[in-house]
Amino acid sequence: DYFGIIPYWGMILIGTVIGNLFYKNRTTLFPKQQPSERNIVIFAGQKSLIIFLTHQFILFGLMFVVGYIFGYRL
């Protein structure tokens, strides 16, 4: 499918204007916290390429095993 940028250009401009109006100081609104080393989001971000490449083989193997159990043969 094709999604052109021109129909959404107005939304981008509106978001830019609203961001400049309400976020002038450019300071965060979230409280500062020291991230833990055992945080799953940080771990997944650091290992994202490995996760992306291996999950495809794992899912394919899982689908193959489930298909074989239910009687699908190659």
Burial 49-66 (b: 16+ CB within 10 A, else e): eeeeeeeeeeeeeeeeee
Q: Is the whole model's pTM more than 0.75, yes or no? A: no
pLDDT in tens, 1-35: 666 767 788 888 999 999 888 888 888 777 888 87
pLDDT above 70 covers what percent of the chain? 93
Rounded to the nearest angstrom, the gap between the alpha carbon of residue 46 and the centroid of all alpha carbons in its chain is: 13
Q: Is 80 exceeded by the pLDDT of residue 46? A: yes
Residue that wins the pLDDT comparison between 60 and 73: 60
Q: Is 70 exceeded by the pLDDT of residue 47? A: yes
